[in-house]
Each structure stands twice: as structure tokens, then as C-alpha cells.
Chain A
């Protein structure tokens, strides 16, 4: 068959779809559908291809098409194929020779759809399952991340679409507020913990961070986005150090009054309507040394007689609340149901281990925040030389306190205060060197999408949202994270699931691996697949310019290099016989394929040399065992 002949065949997948320019998947679909002149019925599981080609009420499919759900494309089409056989047998439809094809991405095939696929292979339905393998995933943050929003600090799980989020303006380098336009649940994933001098954050290997690029003397420094996998120790990431002015917080509190249900008597007390520096200092002392027992209508402070803190507290109390105080040698008490309820509902938590700083405190003016910290230090902090040290039983308190201090212009280590030395960028942002990156285990992950700036501030660090860079957390990318960064990510050598071999183990008539760069090979294989008297499976490499990061006009070259470097060998398993269908004249070194792809850029630093070597060894081993399977010397 010649390319001319193929070009005369009818186009069954038309233009107007919304896949990215240069997307390998479209080329795969067109080449496969060209392989037969018989009518074809297509099914797609949920995925890139499905979403972008059938936006109601338009469709890019010139053939009958069905989408059911994510994990069941194979089962769905097996139903259609069965219906076809029985309706023909019963004479309910005219005799016609119809073929059936699934086009599934790697998610819908390798993972969630594997059971249904296996069932179909075992039952022997006559259909062709094509996996367009673009090795792409999404990128995300651990659900424990704290996000800076207009209304203070929020856990990432509490952020909703429409919330205003603080972001970094990439032109002016100023702090701006942007709307969150989406929250994405990315499931349980492996996350890494990145530590800078004063911050730490957990994220997946492919999450992008804003990194300072020093352009040398006299030239302006710039910022670039790098995924966690590309970042190494010593890189400087952008962090938040100061928030906008803020304003006093209005409390929404209704006092319990005499005459309320079951209330005969209440102790008189003034409850302030707005936050104030004094109140914040009072609350700082509370967070350090106080407790409330709502059922006993009691607020108490563990402040010894004659201590400076007790004096301050007593003064503040009469100034703010104007009520009586009871005390003994070690403690100070206030008997007021309203005070206990008021403090109880502010969100500081009760009991030493559960204390924390609630989100609204982050929205306060600087002075109020500082006073809060002062109160806290008064009760529990102690001074060592020029700095303060703060110790608490509550990890959550330390974490939130650190962020509060960082956004009030303090530098914080183990909560120690220090006057800043060199402020490089401006009053809002700073850069910090990465100290450490380590695997933190598997955790549920989420990501946000933010309008315009496409970034937000998580745990004080500027990070990119989902949607622009599709992952380098390919099976391979995950493998490449064993880089020097990876001295602390030991043993991350997950190999790709060898799906083609898995499928071949079902002993179906035809299985093949193909690439759109070798179109004649691909079309021949698709032809064989369509003619097989039973299930057939094609695993086809579909380069993704977005995820792999190469120019859109290089898709075919990327596919060809994958074949010529033997990363993606072309072979088939026909009735159990393994056969190599293309042996590169000269096996190219793997770097030729890696080099043009942005997702592997970090591997080309001298310190990562060994990763490339390991990668090459792995490809060589796989290639040799394939040769053996195909009985080539």
C-alpha cells in the first residue's frame, strides 16, 4: 500500500475537534481508521480524545461512535459487537461487514479499564482495542497544603471555585488576588516533601514551582516554572513573606442573655464587635496559656502570680471586657458563659495539643497580627540572645504560627525572630534555597486552577496550577526522579507496566506495538488487527507536545526517535509468535530521544549523568529480552 492510496481513503475522523495542535492521538486515530475500508464502530472511554471530539452538539466522528464511562469501553463495545452478531443472525439488520474499535488513553486502559479489557479478551469478542499511549498524568498538591486566600488561610480541601486567592504577578512581581476557577481531585498519589530554609510543602513529582533564574551580573534575573522532578537542592523558589494591609475582623457573635432558653442569670460582660490590637494580644496569651470550659462557663489562664503576663492580661481584660476576674496563686479565671462561648467559637481550638491559628487572623492588619504574636510570646515564648523561641505541643499551631510570622515579615526557623538582612525582590515576595527533597509517602492530592496568573501560594510557596504542563510523571519520569535530587528519593525505579505483554498473555490472535512515525508498519498492523478472528490489541505511542514539552511540529520525529532508540520497539505477537517488525539499522543512543523533550531537560545536568546511563541500561535490557523473545540472535 502506498501513501497515495491511503490518502484517497475516506477521512473518518474530521477536523474541528479540540485536541491540541500536534497531538499524537489524532494521528494514531486517523492512521488506524485508514487501515480498513470496512465500516467501523468506535467507542472511547472518558479521556482527552473523548472530551475534545464530541462536544455536544458537534462531533468529529464520521463513524458511529459511543462513549459510556471511564472504565468500561471494552465491555460497552463487546455489547455492541454481540448485538451485531445476533441481529445479523436474526436477519434484523442487513448483512454488512462491520468492525469495532476502542480508542483508549493510557488511564482508561492500563489502570481503571484493565478489568473490562481483560474480560473482553477472555470472552473473545471480535474487536480491536487501540491504546494511544501518551504517558501523561496530571500534577497536584497534597491535601494537607494551606492556601492563602482573601479570607485568610484555608486548607486546600476547603478552597472552592470562585474564592479569591493570592497569586504572584509574573510581570510586576507583586501580590495580586485572583479567582480560583477550579478544584481538581487527583486521588492518592506519591508526594514529595520540599524543604527550604523556612518553608516546606508536599507535592507530586510533576508539580511546577516558580524558580529564580540568575542571569548573571548586570542582567535582570528571571523566573521559570520547574516541576518538582526538575528541581534540585540549591534551586531558589519564590516564597511569600508579607500580605496586604488587612482589616479588623467583625465577629458574628450573639450573647447569651437572661431570658434565653433555660437562662436565669448571666454575668455581665462586653463582647467586642471587631478585633483590635488589644484583643489580639489577649487572644495571643489565651492561645499560649488559656483554656475554656464552656460547660463550666469558665475561661482560665495558667499565669502565676506576679508574672508580667498576668499583669498584662488583667489590664487587657478590664479594658476590653470590663468584667470581674477571679485568681489564685497559679491561675486566673473569668466566670462568664459569654466569654467562654465567644473564645470557643473563634477557632483557636481547645486543649494544648489542638491549638491553632484560625484563617481569619491572617486577614488582620499588621499591627493586630503582631500584637497577637506578642501576646503569644509573652505567655509561652522565651528569649535567647537576639531571638525568641516558641515551643508548643500543637504541631498545627506551630505550622500556622510559622505562616503567620512569615506573612508578617518575620523570618522564622524554629519560630525564631530575626531582623531581615537582604530583601531582594520586594515587600511581598522573597526567594529561598531548597534544602531538601524527600519522598513523603502516598497521600490524597488536589489541585486548583487560578485565573490569569495560573499560580497560587501553597504553604507560603508560589506554585503553578494544573492545566498547562501535562506531567512528566510518566512511568518513565517517575523513574527519572532518581536524580541527585533523588539521593533522597531512593529506589524509585518503577518500571512501566508492560501492558502489551500482559495482553499477549491472554493468548488472543493479534497483539502489536506501533508508532505513527512508521505509518506503513502501523497501518499494516491495524489491518491485521481488523482482520483477526477475535480480539486484537494495538499499543501505539502517541507523543503529546503539551506533556512532553517539544514544539508541536515535532510529533512524528519524537515518535521516530522513540523507535530508533529502541525505547518503543515495533513488534507483533501473532497467534503466540513474537516478531520484531522493524529493527533500526543503527540503534541510536537514548539521549537523542530525551534531549528534545522539555520533560527530560534536568537529566542533562552533569550531576544527572548517571540517571541517563541507568535509563539507557534499562532500555538495552528490555530490547535484548525482546530480541530473545523474537528469536533474533
Chain B
């Protein structure tokens, strides 16, 4: 099959997303700038000003209005995109649920940044993890390339007739959003063909067939049934995500699934990570493999819907697994850990699981930290039991120097 290869450029994660949005050329973009997402909003606004896209760009006065305007535009049958970070996502919260409840396939890039206080503009996943129950599909990206690839796929996934759900594509603030990387851009034309035309089921602008969107559904109404429909759509999205990932692979040579396995199948212990930490982890795995340690990585790409079954298959042969969370939920373990552990429960013979919290507020995450996690895993594997189920990597008081 003829592979259409694009242009190779050196750009930041934000610029890669902006390029993707330019090629998708959505009908409406409503966004409000926030660090570290600002470049996306700015760069896209420049594309509009330069006539590179003919998108209607709404420079709203807040993120709340950004999501509200996206929702109005989506109801009018438009293909809609936006981008935000951290506090911006928090301000949108209310409307996130309304967008998924009304089944609008809005695509949003979330540049992961921690939530205040203390105020801090750097990366962690507390923003998107907080929105995990809002009914949005959540995709995580390791690099600028993946962020770019993911937003293109997100359009197709969300708009699929079987799905009709909003999609949030995440990448790490600054670490990816502001680092210049090698990115392979597809041809404008092939992106255009790949995403195709959006055909909404209903539209506010269909004045001959007026529809009431967002009616009142009080006690005795159908709220529960509507939620069930949403749950079922999320279930159906599993198959769609895999199909679009294969199609995208055929187009670009980069195929995507629910997760990526790195030297996992012959490993005895492994870490599970999201986003950019996967790079550091893979590098450390290479180093430790050279020393003869049976270590591996599983990089989760799709967090919602959570790929429980596939994850179990991929992990069942391991002796111990460490789940790395870049977010906390005070009073319990990290959010990703809870889900992985729950998923493994149904396996008869299952690996031991531990949780490491790392990188909050942009705290650096270095190979020595991940090595520390692997060493703990090897120890667990040897002893056959977990002594410290939750630990922290890179805390100042316990700075690990190897």
C-alpha cells in the first residue's frame, strides 16, 4: 500500500497541535488563552488571520464561555475544537458534563498542568484526572508527534455515529508543549480526506425541522436512561478507537491502540505510565536491560474508556507492576493505580501492584527515579510481597541519587 509520507519538521508540541488543527480546519474554534496552552490559541488565531484556515474563531472572555460557545456551535452542526489547561479546564467543568450529556463530538486539547494551590504553571495530570468522570473520551500523548496524531484521530472517533462523544487529547505542559521535537506532518490533503465531512444528526440551524436541545428532565424523567445511553456509547467507542488507530496506521505508518508495550512481553516487572514519562521510562528500561534486569513499560494511551480486558492480557505474565501517577487523590491512592489494580483483581494469578506518585507541579522526573521504582519492583518480585504499597518519587526530602 502506498504510504503517504509528509513533511518532517522541528516544532513544539503546541505548534504540532496547532498544525493539526490547521489541517483539520474545523468550522468553529472557541478558546481562551492559558499557560501552557497559550501558543495553540495564538498560533491558530494567526492561521485565521493569515487566511490559512477559514474557521470561525471566537475569542471568548473565559474558558466557561469557550466550552459554552463550543457547545452552541456543535448544536448548530459545526465541527468544533478548543484547547485549554489546568484552571481553564476546571472552569469548564460544569459544561464538560453538559457537552458529553448532549453528545456533542467536541475535540479539545488539554495541555496538562497542575491545579492551584499553590499556584504553579507546570505539568501534572490533576486537571484531566479530575475530569475523568465527565463522560469525555481521554487520550494521552507521549510526544508532540503523538499529540498531533491523536487530535486528528480524535475528530473521527468522537464524530463516529456509534460514538458521538467529546474527546480530550492530553499532552504534558512544557515538557511536550514547549519542547521542540521532530514531528512528521501529514500532507494537508490527506488529513482533510482522513477526517472527512462531519454530518451531524440534528442541527439548530435546520429551521424547517426545529429541535429542542437540552430540555428539562426532572424527577420522573429520563435522566437515568440518557446516562445509560452515554455509557453504552462509551463502550462502543472501544472498537471505533482501535479501527481508527489502524486506519491512521495505514495512512501514516504509525498505528495506535489502547496502549503501547515496550519490552513488556519478556519482562518480569514493569511500570505503567501516561504521557511523556514513557520516554524516560523506556530509556531506563534499555539501560537496565543491558544490566540484565527483566524490566518493561506499558504506556497507556486511552484512559477513557479504560481498556480493562486488554490491560489484563498484557500484564498477566508479570510478577510485579508499578503504576506511576502524576496526580493524587488525597485520602486514597493515585487515580490510575486504583483503576489498574481493580482491573487486575479478576485475574486468578495476578502480578503484585504498587503505586508511585511522581512529578507533581512539574517536579522533574529523571531516569534515577524510574530506576528506583524498578529496583523496588525487583525486590517485590524476589520477596513475593509488597511492603510499601504507595510511595513518592522525586520528593525533595528523599531526593534519590544513584
Contact = CB atoms under 8 A, between A and B. Distances in A.
Interface string B122-140: 0000000000000000000
Interface in A60-108: 61-69, 71-72, 75-87, 89-90, 92-93, 96, 98
Given A39-B207, A64-B204, A80-B76, A72 B212 contact: no
A96 B78 contact: no
Nearest to B198: A92
B59 A123 contact: yes
Given A50-B216, A87-B78, A72 B73 contact: no
B288 interface: no
A51 B69 CA distance: 21
A85 to B, nearest CB: 6
A75 B64 contact: yes
A531 interface: no
B60 A41 contact: no
Contact of B98 (A68, A87, A98, A119): A68
Given A83-B78, A86-B27, A119 B205 contact: no
Contacts of B222: 56-57
Nearest to A65: B212
Nearest to A46: B216
B28 A82 contact: yes
B207 A64 contact: yes
Contacts of A57: 215, 222
Contacts of B211: 64-65
B68 A79 contact: yes
Interface residues of B, number: 45
A50 B213 CA distance: 11
Interface string B47-70: 000000011101111101100111
A79 B215 contact: no
Given A79-B69, A80-B72, A119-B62, A86 B28 contact: yes
Interface string A570-600: 0000000000000000000000000000000
Given A66-B214, A69-B68, A89 B54 contact: yes
B75 interface: yes
A55 B70 CA distance: 24
A80 B94 CA distance: 19
Given A86-B54, A87-B77, A116 B68 contact: yes
A94 to B, nearest CB: 9
Given A66-B214, A89-B54, A79 B61 contact: no
A72 B54 contact: no
B378 to A, nearest CB: 38
A57 B223 CA distance: 11
A371 to B, nearest CB: 45
A485 interface: no
Contact of A83 (B27, B64, B94, B214): B27
B328 to A, nearest CB: 29
A118 interface: yes
Contact of B61 (A76, A98, A118): A118
B62 A69 contact: no
Q: Most chain-B Cβ atoms within 10 A of its Cβ — which of A63, A86, A92, A93?
A: A86
A122 B58 contact: no
Contacts of A63: 207, 210
B217 A56 contact: yes
A68 B58 contact: no
A522 interface: no
B65 A41 contact: no
A92 B79 CA distance: 11
A115 interface: yes
Given A39-B207, A75-B65, A66 B213 contact: yes
B73 A79 contact: yes
B110 to A, nearest CB: 19
A55 B197 CA distance: 33
Interface in A14-58: 39, 41, 43, 50-51, 54-57
Contacts of B73: 79-80, 82-83
A59 interface: yes
Contacts of A54: 212, 214-216
Contacts of A43: 72
Contacts of A62: 210
A56 B215 contact: yes
Contacts of B215: 54-57, 59, 67
Contact of A72 (B59, B77, B95, B197): B95
Contacts of A79: 28, 30, 58, 68-76, 80
A115 B62 CA distance: 9
Given A76-B71, A77-B72, A86 B214 contact: no
B206 interface: yes
B221 interface: yes
B218 interface: yes
B65 A83 contact: no
Given A54-B216, A83-B27, A69 B78 contact: no
Given A66-B75, A68-B71, A69-B95, A96 B64 contact: no
A79 B70 CA distance: 6
A76 B59 contact: no
A56 B211 CA distance: 12
A87 B68 contact: no
A112 to B, nearest CB: 11
A75 B69 contact: yes
Contacts of B204: 41, 64-66, 80
Contacts of A71: 64
Q: Most chain-B Cβ atoms within 10 A of its Cβ — which of A62, A81, A83?
A: A83
B334 to A, nearest CB: 31
Contacts of B28: 79, 82-83, 86
Interface in B212-261: 212-218, 221-222
Interface in B65-120: 65, 68-78, 80, 94-95, 98
A592 to B, nearest CB: 38
Given A82-B28, A83-B78, A118-B61, A61 B210 contact: yes
A115 B74 CA distance: 22
The 9 closest A-B pairs by CB, nearest first: A79-B72, A79-B69, A119-B61, A83-B76, A39-B207, A83-B78, A75-B65, A79-B73, A72-B68
Given A56-B217, A87-B77, A87-B78, 7 more contacts: A66-B75, A66-B213, A72-B65, A75-B60, A76-B69, A82-B58, A93-B205
29 contacts: A41-B205, A55-B215, A57-B222, A61-B212, A64-B212, A65-B212, A66-B75, A66-B204, A67-B216, A68-B95, A68-B98, A69-B98, A71-B64, A72-B64, A75-B69, A76-B69, A76-B72, A79-B72, A83-B27, A83-B56, A83-B74, A83-B78, A84-B205, A85-B56, A87-B27, A92-B27, A93-B203, A115-B65, A116-B64
Interface of A: 39, 41, 43, 50-51, 54-57, 59, 61-69, 71-72, 75-87, 89-90, 92-93, 96, 98, 115-116, 118-119, 122-123
